[in-house]
Structure 1
Amino acid sequence: MPRYLISFNDGAMDHIPAEEIADVAKASHAVVQEAVNAGVWVYGGGLERQRASVVATDGVVTDGPYPETKEVIGGFSVVDVATREEALAWAARIAASCRCAQEVRELLPDPEQDAMLRQAARRG
């Protein structure tokens, strides 16, 4: 099945009062548990609010993000669902729980990586 990246920009949750963050966390964890129970959850998490480091092909490290980048990812989820419509439905649930809009993008398939993951699961 296709995998989808569901993400939101850093700062997208800044409008939430500090006293409501615990409620948001509880609601978002509930949606994650629903996705786990449905068998579609792959991975996800929030990102620390910090500048990224950019590593060039020659190994040189510079402060990021790239100069032309105006927004960076603040958090993400990866779901494994049959259709884009299903991914959009999960994104809507995540958006409601996190109280911020979500971007949805299909990840490119990688049959070699999928085979490695299946092999690791059989060993594990």
Structure 2
Amino acid sequence: MAHRVDVHVGKRIRQRRWLTGMTQQKLAAMVGIKFQQIQKYETGANRVSASRLWEIADALEVQVAFFFEGLEQPETSGSAPIGDVPYDLLGDKEAMDLIRSYYAIPANQRRRLFDLARVLSDVA
């Protein structure tokens, strides 16, 4: 059974890779491994060594700490939602599509869309 930290790190690798539009094949080539290994990392089936995580962070242009962000301590972890926000928000494909689309919008229009979303959520 995969350790929860390995699963979390794998999800963060997948999320960052996906947000940048990078394929598993491209990431694997950048770090000198086969894409199947990236698949295993992303599912948490295989642990990522410290040096490999460093290479992946470099390829995805993030700090190594990025992969541990949002990791809860064992006594506080769980799958319960926080308010109306699902616990695993970044694991939700629809939410990730929305985030990716949001950042593809020019900044001035993005701010207007954000303001509209705030108004709509206050009304609901």
Do both proteins adopt the same fold according to a TM-score greater than 0.5, normalized to the shorter chain? no
Q: TM-score, normalised by structure 2?
A: 0.27
Q: TM-score, normalised by structure 1?
A: 0.27
Name the one with the larger helix percent.
Answer: 2
Name the one with the larger strand percent.
Answer: 1
